[in-house]
Amino acid sequence: MINTILIFPIVACILVLLIKNRTFNTWMVNIYALLHFIFSIMLVWGKDSCLSIPYFAVDHTNSIFLLVLSLVYLMVAIYNTGYVKNIDVPDRRISHYSFMILIFVLSMTGTILSTDLGISWVLVEATTLSSAYLIYFNKTKHSIEAAWKYVFICSIGIAMAFVGIILLNVSSGDVNSLNFAQLYQHAASFDVSFLKLAFIFMLFGFGAKMGLAPVHFWLPDAHSEAPSPISALLSAALLNSAFLVIVRVFKIMEIADCTSYARLILMIMGFLSLFVATVFIYHIKNYKRMLAYSSIENMGILAIGLALGGVAYYAVVLHLIGHSLAKASFFLTSGNVLELFDSKRVKSVSGLVSADGKSGWLWIASFLAICAFPTSLLFISEFLIIKTMIADKHYILCAVFALLLMIILFGIGRVVIKMAFGELSEDKAKLIQNTKNKVSIWMYVPQFIMLILVFVLGIYIPECINQVIKLAAGAF
Amino acid sequence: MATGFIILFGLTMLYLAATSRIIAHIRILIVQGVLLFLISCCGAEHTNLFNLIFLAVETLIVKSIVIPWFLYKVLKQTHSNRDVAANIPHFYCLVISSIVLLAGFLVSNYFISSVKMIAPIYFGVSAATIIISLWLITIKHKIISNVIEFITMENGIFLLSLSVAKEMPMLVNLGVLLDVFIAVYILGLFVNEINKEFNDLEVSHLSDLKDYEYND
């Protein structure tokens, strides 16, 4: 089954390049999304015995990442059906666009499923290269700037991660393998000083991909300039795959008994991310950049949760699910706003609720989900993280954490409320008369489903999902 | 023998720091590719034939023919011959690069010599190469020079992977080669696109996306 998930997109890519028809290409993306979703569910819950092929496998750690990726990709594909109809470009470019989406999702799936650090590295780099075209899709001056920064910073970051892998190879002594299982098995005998050096390089390398400060600079530019479905994929799926690699490397540190060192660095990077997000969100002028900074904030929370350990692992998994769903919904809705108002400036948007009720309320609901309003899933995860901090007697950290989150909440809330309510000026109203029919039904449904999931999971997590989450948290 | 080649490799970085003509930088890439091939041949007694062929293809064909040829094509299309206005005069570039290189030698000889797995001289030169490349990226003004320094950094990492006494798994090597190759290709395409869009290759054009004074 893993074979099919990994081979189907390659076949689909060839078909997409051969048949340059807009409807066909969009449906190819949709078919892969559906197939990905069904197969992921079967891989995680099915009784299928074939859970591994050479270099790729489904295990306790990555099954939840796989499920989140599938769900987000399915939702983005549904949205994409409506979105592609409005793009005014030749079919040839839509075919390239679909091709790159397929390659992008393929490399993310590969990163998540791979059981070998080397293969993960190769595929993380592949995600950079495939999504670069997607960020540049609009072909404006700004998008080329964003794409250039993205490729350059992430390539250098990933090159640094490779230095880390070489150093890990040095520290591992006689173990000549990068297979995670073998690394875990022998980690206790690794050379500690080289392992620590390797961890720094890998954390900065994959952290650049994940969007942790201080190596986050590509993220706001790339997220704000990419087409909205791509922003959603970048934020809700790509960052998670890089996080998975960090989790796996962190486990090596744990077994090699360098935990306190690794935790300290993760904690510093996590709080730095929160701080950067706070500073920039407070004066934000562009609402898509605001969402990007919110992603940095949430990645920071994941890093802090990982650094805390214990109950926080469970919170990290919950936070990952909640953030992916809520942020994907937020980015997709921002795509609607962009279609309606034709501007990314906060200043030019107001009266969203009266202009288009559905988009307006989705915008507000996404905000409530991301700012951890009960019963959002993020409420539980953040609550658990704060609880762990207090239980571990990190009172000052806890206060700083809560304060930074509160300022971010205020920053986002101010912008969201300003955009959602307020007066709708006459020329804007005229503009919206023309643009409103661009937003089809497909561009509301996915956000609605994801938000329902976030808010329902906050109250009740079905036993089958809870089992997967517990296993993942246990395997961290 | 290998030591001589490695020292030559380190010296190419000094040349890169001290010159401003981009065509000379591309020639340096060819020299580095050939040197890497010679270095990997010197340390190749214990490797098998397949690995040797792979290394030859990687260093000779990709690093010293395909990538420089591609960059040369980009250079001709974009008509940018010099990276004149570097932030720091070339003399100081040379001095700083020399200091980094020297520090690489010293540090690796003092601290790494105790570790059996890696040869100090490889480690020192490759670390110095990576640092000099990263530093040059920050001070150069033309984006095509940035791409060239990115490749020298990758060469430094390649040298570092040669310094480890055991080999990386084959599949990883292949993947790395493929990724670097595509990365250079994509960066080259972007150089062309940027040239079309801005009629110039100055890095300073690419600083419009900001948080405070945002122009939509």
Residue B173: inside a domain = yes
Mean pLDDT of B148-161: 89
What's the domain count of chain B?
Answer: 1
Whether B115 contacts chain A with CB within 8 A: yes
Q: Is the pLDDT of residue A386 over 80?
A: yes
Q: Are A275 and A404 in contact (CB under 8 A)?
A: yes
Closest Cα partner for B19 from B81, B79, B104? B81
Whether B107 contacts chain A with CB within 8 A: no
The number of helices, as runs of H, and strands, as runs of E, in chain A is 21, 2
Cα distance between residue A191 and residue A108, in whole Å: 31
Q: Is the pLDDT of residue B29 over 60?
A: yes
Cα distance between residue A319 and residue A301, in whole Å: 8
Contacts of A150 in chain B (CB under 8 A): none
pLDDT value, residue B52:
76
Residue B59 is classified by DSSP as: I
Whole-model pTM? 0.94
Which band of pLDDT confidence, cut at 50, 70 and 90, is reported for residue B160?
A: confident
ipTM for the complex? 0.92
Residue B167 is classified by DSSP as: P
SS (H, E, C) A129-155: HHHHHHHHHHCCHHHHHHHHHHHHHHH
Cα distance between residue A254 and residue A316, in whole Å: 17
Mean pLDDT of A60-83: 94
Mean pLDDT of B27-47: 84
Which band of pLDDT confidence, cut at 50, 70 and 90, is reported for residue A135?
A: very high
Contacts of B117 in chain A (CB under 8 A): 170, 173
Contacts of B176 in chain A (CB under 8 A): 121-122, 162
Residue that the structure tokens 């001709």 belong to: B76
**β-sheet bridge partners, residue B41:** none
Give the burial class of A363: count Cβ atoms within 10 A of its Cβ; 0-12 exposed, 13-18 middle, 19 or more buried.
buried
Do the Cβ atoms of A162 and B157 come within 8 Å?
yes
Structure token pair of residue A328: 């994907």
A149: distance to nearest CA of chain B, Å?
9
Whether B52 contacts chain A with CB within 8 A: no
Chains A and B: how many Cβ contacts under 8 Å?
122
Structure token pair of residue A312: 């926080």
Residue B216: inside a domain = no
pLDDT value, residue B39:
86
Q: Is the pLDDT of residue B216 over 60?
A: no
Do the Cβ atoms of B168 and A169 come within 8 Å?
yes
pLDDT value, residue A412:
95
Structure token pair of residue A307: 């650094």
Do the Cβ atoms of A148 and B212 come within 8 Å?
no
Condensed to tens digits (0 to 9), the pLDDT of residues A77-126 reads 999 999 998 888 898 999 999 999 999 999 999 999 999 998 999 999 99
Domain range for B7: 2-205
Whether A54 contacts chain B with CB within 8 A: no
% of chain B with per-residue pLDDT over 90: 25
Contacts of B114 in chain A (CB under 8 A): none
- State the DSSP string of A272-309: HHHHHHHHHHHT--BHHHHHHHHHHHHHHHHHHHHHH-
Q: Is the pLDDT of residue A50 over 60?
A: yes
Query: In A342-425, where does DSSP find H-type helix?
Result: 352-355, 357-370, 377-391, 395-420
Lowest mean pLDDT among A24-33, A73-82, A373-382, B139-148: B139-148
Do the Cβ atoms of A119 and B154 come within 8 Å?
no
Residue B215: inside a domain = no
Q: Is the pLDDT of residue A311 over 80?
A: yes
Residue B214: inside a domain = no
Residue B47: inside a domain = yes
What are the CA-CA distances from residue A65 to residues A7, A113, A180, A245, B127 (Å)?
Answer: 20, 9, 17, 11, 35
Which band of pLDDT confidence, cut at 50, 70 and 90, is reported for residue B93?
A: confident
Residue A56 is classified by DSSP as: E
| Mean pLDDT rounded to a whole number for chain A | 92
pLDDT value, residue A250:
95
Lowest mean pLDDT among A107-111, A122-126, A168-172, A390-394: A168-172
Closest Cα partner for A453 from A124, A74, A50? A74
Do the Cβ atoms of A148 and B171 come within 8 Å?
no
Give the burial class of A90: count Cβ atoms within 10 A of its Cβ; 0-12 exposed, 13-18 middle, 19 or more buried.
exposed
Lowest mean pLDDT among A167-176, A282-291, A310-319: A167-176
Closest Cα partner for B151 from B209, B42, B40, B72? B72
| Mean pLDDT rounded to a whole number for chain B | 83
Whether B138 contacts chain A with CB within 8 A: no
* Angle of helix A239-255 versus helix A117-135 axis, rounded to 10: 160
Contacts of A177 in chain B (CB under 8 A): 169
Q: Is the pLDDT of residue A48 over 70?
A: no
pLDDT value, residue B46:
60
Of B150, B176, B187, the CB nearest to A122: B176
Q: Is the pLDDT of residue B174 over 90?
A: no
Tell me the one-letter amino acid at A472: A
Residue that the structure tokens 């503009």 belong to: A431
Q: Are A47 and A122 in contact (CB under 8 A)?
A: no
Residue B123: inside a domain = yes
pLDDT value, residue B85:
61
Of A118, A145, A151, the CB nearest to B209: A145
Condensed to tens digits (0 to 9), the pLDDT of residues A200-258 reads 999 999 999 999 989 999 999 999 999 999 999 999 999 999 999 999 999 999 999 88
pLDDT value, residue B77:
85
Residue B210: inside a domain = no
Tell me the one-letter amino acid at A325: L
Among left, alpha and beta (phi > 0; psi -120 to 50; other), residue B88 is beta
Cα distance between residue B164 and residue A176, in whole Å: 11
